[in-house]
Amino acid sequence: MFPQVNQSDTYEDCKATADWLLARTAVRPSVGIVCGSGLGGLAAVLKDQVAFDYKDVPNFPQSTVHGHAGRLVFGTLKGRSCVCMQGRFHLYEGYPVQKVAMPMRIFKLLGVDTVILTNAAGGLNQDFKVGDIMIVKDHINLPGFAGTHPLVGLNDERFGVRFPCMSDAYDRELQQLAVDVGQELGFGDLLKEGVYSVLGGPSFETVAECRMLRKLGADAVGMSTVHEVIVARHCGLRVFALSLITNQAVMDYDSQEKANHEEVLATAKQRAEQLERLIYTMVARMEHHNNNNNHDDDD
């Protein structure tokens, strides 16, 4: 008998949560959106909203971080049915890594096929400026190196295979769509692309840690997203992720700069409108984009 490790997100638990939600809203979402620190305003753009506080949703964790509202909002965006998480969960809140990523499994059981994740991150790449938006092309899962991984434990084939591929974790067509939309909206110069590294937090990184991460090839660092991406891909969901560069990581011992959460929220507030426009224009195009793909397949 194999041990069960933190099996707080069994198929039955996730299905019970999804069924509870589906019984209380007529929305059948195809897109799931996760809002990072200070970026919860994305949910406000949804039409015909039905919202649930995390504390009222069975089996759902609760967000404890300032800048994370802690609500699940259903509605439509440019005619496309969506569900939006206003606030996510982190290892540093004390949740098991499986619980942190559990919402991706609930998304899957709600009928979602594409997930868009946003986060606030520290810039490691010296070419990045505060306020830049990084399209995530890949990640480094440092906690995973030490066995803190959301797929540890018994694998349930109803979700996905035991050993999922991660070399294609971030959908390349959606990355290109983001570049095209950003250019059209007039802020293509803010868009960068790069590798996101996750750490456990909640302390910000030391100078030595930042230097190490940069040498490993990371362009930005944060405390979220990667565990969700792994579970979303395990479930077969299409994934797109954006990092808002809210502060420059301190790489120099002589620097007087200090990373802080208030700076993160302030930058997020300044850039929120552009991020919202980018994402809701992408969502509107994705349907057209997917239809084109389907049409090509039919030919």
| 67 assigned to some structural domain | no
- Range 285-291 average pLDDT: 59
pLDDT at 6 over 70: no
pLDDT at 153 over 80: yes
pLDDT at 48: 92
Indicate which CATH number applies to the domain containing 115: 3.40.50.1580
pLDDT at 68: 64
- Range 64-81 average pLDDT: 86
- Range 202-219 average pLDDT: 96
Residue pLDDT, tens place only, 239-263: 999 999 998 988 889 888 888 888 7
Q: Which residues are catalytic?
A: 37, 68, 90, 92-93, 120, 223-224, 247, 261
Would you state the structure tokens that stand for residue 79, as one six-digit string?
A: 């005619």
pLDDT at 292 over 70: no
Residue pLDDT, tens place only, 19-64: 999 999 999 999 999 998 777 788 888 999 999 999 999 999 887 7
| 9 assigned to some structural domain | no
CA distances from 90 to 76, 97, 238, 273 (A): 27, 8, 22, 25
| Confidence (pTM) | 0.91
Number of structural domains the chain divides into: 1
| 13 assigned to some structural domain | no
pLDDT at 293 over 50: no
pLDDT at 115: 98
| 61 assigned to some structural domain | no
| 49 assigned to some structural domain | no
Q: Which domain holds residue 169?
A: 89-248+261-290
| 93 assigned to some structural domain | yes
pLDDT at 8 over 80: no
| 6 assigned to some structural domain | no
| 114 assigned to some structural domain | yes
Residue pLDDT, tens place only, 119-151: 999 999 999 999 999 999 999 999 999 999 999
